[in-house]
Structure 1
Amino acid sequence: MSAEPVFEWPLPPPGGFTAEDLDRIPDLPPHTELIDGSLVFVSPQKVFHTLAVDLLVQGLRRTAPKGLRVRREMSVLLGPRQRPEPDLLVVQADAETGPDQTAYLPDAVELVVEVVSPDSEERDRERKPQLYAKAGIRHFWRVEDSSGGKIALYVYELDPATRTYALTGIYHDRVKLTVPFEIDLDLTEIDQL
């Protein structure tokens, strides 16, 4: 009987990992993020998380104008020690460089969306929005399970003077917005997925 292979966790270099390291470290678990120079591994997703992302991807792809693309689970290069991976993002189509692309620059990102999970509450509610705002990403959405699989969508817009997000609305059943583009989504459709 052969022994199971043992995964060897990468040891951080002095000063922490860099954004470039994510593309070079072999055998990292899928969806590894870099926050403040530290690798962040995600735990398995719950059904609500998957359904919420699916609903928003479908809805945003339906409403996004020509020239924008909706992508899920792609990282954003915010700085040498910051490379988070939002659950989904809307990017400018001309920012795509080909099938081997692993990250986007913040000036190409129109919207980032985080679906909060129990293991990511603090990161998704506090640290990642701080990083996105500091990088100048104008629109941020946070999605929470309001009760029993129902969506609560928190919509934020960047205040350019303070480089922080201001809450512009909380939506439960339907979201209708004019920024970052015309959006009309029935959030109750999560029950049909």
Structure 2
Amino acid sequence: MHTQIAAEQYDSWSTEQCAGIEVVDGMVVATPSPSIRHNRLARLLANGLELAAGPDWNADTGFDVRLQDVPLTNRRPDVVVYRADTIDVSPTRPEHVLLVVEVVSPGSETTDRIVKADQYAKAGIAFYWRVEQAATGIPLVYTYVLDPASSSYRDGEVFTGTVKAAVPFLVEIDLGTL
């Protein structure tokens, strides 16, 4: 029988117990290990975003964002841009986060394109980027901006290879040489 876990229970688990999972509506969901290409894309994006964001923001990979406590929903975006002054605050919450990035992998298409976008928007995260790994090998980056009135994202710009975004801050990241 499947049972929901509470935030307190999850918070008592070790780092090893939390690795490779997300929690959605209190239910543990296994997440497959990402490919090397996936990890490299995430790292390149995090590095570029960190450089462009300035001292008030950090960009990192591979940690939980607590979208809600009841029922517990923890997502682990591929890249998170968050307020630098919250680096030691745990758990990271949506109000700490400016931008999340998901790199789509085989098997995560619907979750990354629809489910996570909806959850991040409803949590109030201002910007969402989705990276599609195209058959050409050159990534496509879809950007979205939160419409607070509807708690949903509206389409932003789409970039092929090189991201040249003006929001949430000026950033240029070449992903075409992956």
The TM-score with structure 2 as length reference comes to: 0.90
Q: Give yes or no for the alignment of 1:182 onto 2:173.
A: no
Counterpart for residue 62 of structure 1: 51
Contact kept in structure 1, 2:52 and 2:171, CA below 8 Å: yes
Contact kept in structure 2, 1:48 and 1:149, CA below 8 Å: no
* Count of residues in correspondence between the two structures: 175
Secondary structure (helix, strand or coil) at the match of 2:5 reads: coil
How many Å separate the matches in 2 of 1:169 and 1:45?
Answer: 26
User: For residues 108-127 of structure 1, what are the alpha-carbon distances to aligned partners after superposition, in whole Å with 9 as ceiling and x for unaligned?
Assistant: 10000011111222211111
Q: Give yes or no for the alignment of 1:170 onto 2:137.
A: no
* Greater alpha carbon shift after TM alignment, 144-153 vs 67-76: 144-153
Counterpart for residue 123 of structure 1: 111
Counterpart for residue 19 of structure 1: 7
Counterpart for residue 82 of structure 2: 91
Contact kept in structure 2, 1:19 and 1:83, CA below 8 Å: no
Structure 1 consecutive aligned stretches of length 4 or more whose deviation exceeds 3 Å: none
Q: What do you get for the CA RMSD once the two structures are aligned?
A: 1.7
How many Å separate the matches in 1 of 2:8 and 2:167?
Answer: 32
Would the alpha carbon gap of residues 69 and 177 (structure 1) be closer, same or farther in structure 2, given more than 3 Å must change?
same
Counterpart for residue 5 of structure 1: none
Contact kept in structure 2, 1:18 and 1:82, CA below 8 Å: no
- Aligned-pair distance for 1:169? 1.3
Counterpart for residue 139 of structure 2: 151
Counterpart for residue 40 of structure 2: 51
- Aligned-pair distance for 1:12? 4.3
Contact kept in structure 1, 2:49 and 2:171, CA below 8 Å: yes
Secondary structure (helix, strand or coil) at the match of 2:108 reads: helix
Structure 2, unaligned runs of 5 or more: none
Name the % identity: 34
Secondary structure (helix, strand or coil) at the match of 2:139 reads: strand
How many Å separate the matches in 1 of 2:156 and 2:9?
Answer: 36
Secondary structure (helix, strand or coil) at the match of 1:33 reads: strand
